[in-house]
Chains A and B, each alone.
Chain A
């Protein structure tokens, strides 16, 4: 099925552990982004990519790394998990073919991460 696939859906980490949240899309979208959602704060942009090999920081990049070696995949790495990183993480993708065909994001279903 076409869309954005995030794995895992749930994860519990201990403080200091590292892990990678996976995100894959099969729509050939050039734009991909990672957001975290916390109560009362909406979605905050962590990192984004405008194409394979190109990434940039968003609002809250500290503690996270990304890479974009292929168009399809955009993994998010937590280097040393902290309780402040407890959140719901969403991956999203989009594309522009022409100005008139601008699409919004297609979101994945999210990863609920708890750091204890």
Chain B
């Protein structure tokens, strides 16, 4: 079965600084790949997705992610972080839309 690892439990960045959140997955073929964001006490919101094609994908709120097959990674990036980006971020991987597995999440703190 597929699995996903988010190595960083908690990241703190200063407002305006760049951000990269790591996601590594284990799966035999190219799976569906997603990034979600969850604000405290809220549900999850989709940021972006990858299935095939261009390996650099753009999402909402200025986020982008790059799929690297050789590294089995799908890292999330943002050039300049805003205070409102503070939240928990989840990478998700799946062989199908039904059977999606989520990482443990990375909590982002933004310093003023």
Contact = CB atoms under 8 A, between A and B. Distances in A.
Nearest to A96: B97
A-B pairs, top 3 by smallest CB distance, nearest first, are: A104-B46, A43-B102, A42-B104
B44 A49 contact: no
B100 interface: yes
Interface of B: 1, 6, 9, 32, 34, 36, 42-46, 49, 51-52, 90, 92, 96-105
A40 interface: yes
A2 interface: no
| Interface core residue of B6, B36, B90, B102 (most chain A CB under 10 Å) | B102
A108 interface: yes
Nearest to B1: A59
Contact of B52 (A92, A94, A96, A99): A99
B102 A107 contact: no
A12 interface: no
A48 B103 contact: no
Contacts of B97: 31, 50, 94-96, 102-103, 105
B100 A105 contact: yes
A108 B98 CA distance: 15
A115 interface: no
Given A107-B43, A108-B43, A33 B49 contact: no
Contacts of B44: 43, 90, 92, 105, 107
20 contacts: A33-B98, A41-B104, A42-B103, A42-B105, A43-B90, A43-B102, A44-B102, A45-B100, A45-B102, A48-B98, A49-B98, A50-B96, A59-B1, A92-B44, A95-B97, A99-B51, A104-B36, A108-B43, A109-B42, A110-B43
